[in-house]
Amino acid sequence: MSLALGNFDPGQPVPKAFPDRTVLIYVAAIFMLFAGAAIEWLQTVAWAAGALTAYYTLIVVVLMDGRSVLRNAKEFMAYSNTAEQVAIAAAGLIVFATYAKMDAKLAAQLTRTGQIVGLCAILFGGAHFFYMGMTARLVPRWLPPSQDFWGYATGVAHVAAGVAIIALVEDRLAEILLTVMSAAFTPLKHVPLFLADSHNHAEWAENAANLVLTGCAWVVADSLPRRRRPEGVREGEGAAQQAGAAS
């Protein structure tokens, strides 16, 4: 998109008066294009994920969005927009920790750091409530029972998933459901809006962003362990045994 439109992605705010802005647009676009392709190959996935994580963390989140948050500290949108870029960086960190050759303990620590992306889901859900008028309008009118219902329901689902991931309570199930919900947004919301106004560059960006966030949720879900009760332990006994072991 950046190459085609000659502009930064909407999630990467760079002032129009920034020196050599046009050059930086194409440098960033080419970097993301090649890194995105390289992450598809087993031989290059580790360095590509590491490079994308560094770019989104240091350049996008800290330098670009950090400035935006400071200027709009009273606007919740500034935080939820930044959370999208944090989620991409977090998923990249998990992929890097999975494929890079490193100590297993360090890899586990990096993966857990990436899983804190649950905080991003809470911010996404919060945006639904802060901007319900905008959120409800994006829900198809034909979807029962109402647009407002699904606006609130998806907001609650985001917050609940985020809390589950942070608290490690049914976190894998929560993240799987979050992935399914994000994937459903594409055919139900983003594709129809795009087809209705395909010349609107914002609709292209929204489609791309939702696909990326769906992928991020999938990465986090895949990184979370399947927690099973030991054989012979009845429901309710596991928690008691863990409490006894902790004491």
Report how far apart, in Å, the C-alpha atoms of 132 and of each of 126, 139, 152, 179, 203 are: 10, 11, 8, 22, 19
pLDDT in tens, 173-200: 999 999 999 999 999 988 888 888 888 8
186 close to 203: Cβ distance less than 8 angstroms: no
DSSP state of 65: I
pLDDT in tens, 68-116: 899 999 999 999 999 999 999 999 999 999 999 999 999 999 999 998 8
Using DSSP, state whether 51 is helix, strand or coil: helix
Q: CA 190 to CA 187: how far, in whole Å?
A: 6
Report how far apart, in Å, the C-alpha atoms of 25 and of each of 35, 63, 203 are: 15, 15, 20
55 close to 31: Cβ distance less than 8 angstroms: yes
Alpha helices in the chain (DSSP H): 2-5, 21-38, 45-54, 66-71, 76-99, 104-115, 118-130, 132-137, 147-167, 171-185, 191-196, 201-223, 237-246
215 close to 91: Cβ distance less than 8 angstroms: yes
82 close to 90: Cβ distance less than 8 angstroms: no
pLDDT above 90 as % of the chain: 63
pTM for the model stands at 0.85
Quote the pLDDT of residue 198: 80
Quote the pLDDT of residue 11: 84
Residue 238 reports pLDDT greater than 70: no
Quote the pLDDT of residue 231: 52
Give the CA angle between residues 157, 166, 154 to the nearest 5°: 10
